[in-house]
Protein backbone atom coordinates (compact mmCIF):
# COMPACT_ATOMS: atom_id res chain seq x y z
CA UNK A 1 0.00 0.00 0.00
CA UNK A 2 2.90 2.35 0.74
CA UNK A 3 4.15 2.19 -2.83
CA UNK A 4 0.67 2.79 -4.28
CA UNK A 5 0.13 5.67 -1.82
CA UNK A 6 3.36 7.24 -3.07
CA UNK A 7 2.03 7.01 -6.61
CA UNK A 8 -1.25 8.63 -5.55
CA UNK A 9 0.60 11.64 -4.18
CA UNK A 10 2.16 12.15 -7.61
CA UNK A 11 -1.29 12.74 -9.09
CA UNK A 12 -2.78 16.21 -9.43
CA UNK A 13 -5.31 16.52 -6.56
CA UNK A 14 -7.81 18.58 -8.57
CA UNK A 15 -7.75 16.23 -11.56
CA UNK A 16 -7.93 13.18 -9.31
CA UNK A 17 -10.95 14.58 -7.47
CA UNK A 18 -12.64 15.36 -10.78
CA UNK A 19 -12.00 11.80 -12.02
CA UNK A 20 -13.29 10.28 -8.78
CA UNK A 21 -16.47 12.34 -8.94
CA UNK A 22 -17.09 11.11 -12.47
CA UNK A 23 -16.22 7.44 -11.92
CA UNK A 24 -16.88 6.44 -8.30
CA UNK A 25 -20.34 5.69 -6.96
CA UNK A 26 -21.91 7.83 -4.24
CA UNK A 27 -21.51 5.25 -1.48
CA UNK A 28 -17.77 4.89 -2.15
CA UNK A 29 -17.30 8.67 -2.27
CA UNK A 30 -19.21 9.09 1.00
CA UNK A 31 -17.07 6.51 2.75
CA UNK A 32 -13.87 8.00 1.31
CA UNK A 33 -14.89 11.47 2.50
CA UNK A 34 -15.78 10.18 5.99
CA UNK A 35 -12.41 8.47 6.23
CA UNK A 36 -10.56 11.64 5.22
CA UNK A 37 -12.51 13.66 7.82
CA UNK A 38 -11.77 11.12 10.57
CA UNK A 39 -8.04 11.14 9.83
CA UNK A 40 -7.88 14.92 9.51
CA UNK A 41 -9.65 15.21 12.87
CA UNK A 42 -7.00 12.88 14.34
CA UNK A 43 -4.35 15.48 13.48
CA UNK A 44 -6.58 18.29 14.80
CA UNK A 45 -7.07 16.43 18.09
CA UNK A 46 -3.33 15.95 18.48
CA UNK A 47 -2.77 19.66 17.90
CA UNK A 48 -5.45 20.59 20.49
CA UNK A 49 -3.79 18.33 23.07
CA UNK A 50 -0.38 19.82 22.32
CA UNK A 51 -1.46 23.48 22.31
CA UNK A 52 -3.75 23.19 25.33
CA UNK A 53 -1.06 21.27 27.25
CA UNK A 54 -3.27 18.22 27.77
CA UNK A 55 -2.17 14.67 28.39
CA UNK A 56 -4.16 11.86 26.82
CA UNK A 57 -5.68 11.22 30.26
CA UNK A 58 -6.75 14.85 30.64
CA UNK A 59 -8.16 14.86 27.10
CA UNK A 60 -10.07 11.67 27.88
CA UNK A 61 -11.56 13.28 30.96
CA UNK A 62 -12.46 16.40 28.97
CA UNK A 63 -14.17 14.37 26.25
CA UNK A 64 -15.77 11.84 28.59
CA UNK A 65 -13.96 8.78 27.26
CA UNK A 66 -11.13 6.52 28.35
CA UNK A 67 -7.46 7.30 27.82
CA UNK A 68 -7.33 4.24 25.60
CA UNK A 69 -10.05 5.75 23.39
CA UNK A 70 -8.00 8.92 22.95
CA UNK A 71 -4.93 6.85 22.10
CA UNK A 72 -6.96 4.91 19.53
CA UNK A 73 -8.37 8.13 18.02
CA UNK A 74 -4.85 9.52 17.66
CA UNK A 75 -3.77 6.37 15.81
CA UNK A 76 -6.82 5.47 13.74
CA UNK A 77 -8.89 8.62 13.49
CA UNK A 78 -11.70 10.24 15.44
CA UNK A 79 -15.08 8.46 15.36
CA UNK A 80 -17.74 10.19 13.33
CA UNK A 81 -19.91 11.03 16.34
CA UNK A 82 -17.00 13.08 17.82
CA UNK A 83 -15.97 14.94 14.65
CA UNK A 84 -17.99 18.08 15.43
CA UNK A 85 -16.57 18.35 18.96
CA UNK A 86 -13.01 18.03 17.65
CA UNK A 87 -13.74 20.54 14.86
CA UNK A 88 -15.06 23.06 17.41
CA UNK A 89 -11.99 22.63 19.62
CA UNK A 90 -9.68 22.86 16.61
CA UNK A 91 -11.28 26.11 15.42
CA UNK A 92 -11.04 27.53 18.96
CA UNK A 93 -7.39 26.47 19.05
CA UNK A 94 -6.76 28.28 15.75
CA UNK A 95 -8.07 31.50 17.30
CA UNK A 96 -6.07 31.05 20.50
CA UNK A 97 -2.90 30.38 18.53
CA UNK A 98 -3.44 33.42 16.33
CA UNK A 99 -4.00 35.90 19.15
CA UNK A 100 -2.10 34.52 22.14
CA UNK A 101 1.48 33.49 22.74
CA UNK A 102 1.77 29.70 22.66
CA UNK A 103 2.96 29.44 26.25
CA UNK A 104 -0.10 31.34 27.51
CA UNK A 105 -2.75 29.09 25.98
CA UNK A 106 -2.70 26.28 28.60
CA UNK A 107 -3.30 28.85 31.36
CA UNK A 108 -6.03 30.66 29.39
CA UNK A 109 -8.04 27.48 28.72
CA UNK A 110 -7.89 26.59 32.44
CA UNK A 111 -8.76 30.03 33.82
CA UNK A 112 -12.37 30.46 35.03
CA UNK A 113 -14.08 33.41 33.40
CA UNK A 114 -16.97 35.51 34.72
CA UNK A 115 -18.34 35.63 31.17
CA UNK A 116 -18.54 31.83 31.15
CA UNK A 117 -20.37 31.48 34.44
CA UNK A 118 -17.06 31.20 36.30
CA UNK A 119 -16.14 28.18 34.20
CA UNK A 120 -13.02 27.70 32.10
CA UNK A 121 -12.89 26.75 28.43
CA UNK A 122 -11.66 23.34 29.56
CA UNK A 123 -14.67 22.93 31.86
CA UNK A 124 -17.05 23.92 29.05
CA UNK A 125 -15.46 21.30 26.81
CA UNK A 126 -15.72 18.70 29.59
CA UNK A 127 -19.44 19.49 29.87
CA UNK A 128 -19.82 18.66 26.18
CA UNK A 129 -20.21 22.33 25.27
CA UNK A 130 -17.52 22.50 22.60
CA UNK A 131 -19.61 24.88 20.45
CA UNK A 132 -19.67 27.25 23.45
CA UNK A 133 -15.87 26.97 23.67
CA UNK A 134 -15.61 28.16 20.07
CA UNK A 135 -18.17 30.92 20.64
CA UNK A 136 -16.29 32.09 23.76
CA UNK A 137 -13.02 32.24 21.83
CA UNK A 138 -14.67 34.24 19.04
CA UNK A 139 -16.09 36.67 21.58
CA UNK A 140 -12.77 36.86 23.41
CA UNK A 141 -11.20 38.31 20.28
CA UNK A 142 -14.17 40.44 19.18
CA UNK A 143 -15.57 38.10 16.51
CA UNK A 144 -18.83 37.30 18.30
CA UNK A 145 -20.96 39.95 16.61
CA UNK A 146 -19.24 39.69 13.25
CA UNK A 147 -20.11 35.98 13.01
CA UNK A 148 -23.60 36.13 14.51
pLDDT of residue 143: 65
Three-state DSSP state, 56: helix
Q: How much is the pTM?
A: 0.81
In tens, the pLDDT along 35-71 reads 888 888 899 999 999 999 999 999 999 999 999 999 9
Q: Which of 88, 101, 105 is nearest to 53 (CA)?
A: 105
In tens, the pLDDT along 95-105 reads 999 999 878 99
Q: Which of 108, 4, 78 is nearest to 70 (CA)?
A: 78
pLDDT of residue 32: 87
Amino acid sequence: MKQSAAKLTELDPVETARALLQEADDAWLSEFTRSLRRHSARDDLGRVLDVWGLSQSAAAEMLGVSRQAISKWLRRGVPEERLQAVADLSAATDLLMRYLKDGRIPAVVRRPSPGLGRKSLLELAAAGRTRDVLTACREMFGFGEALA
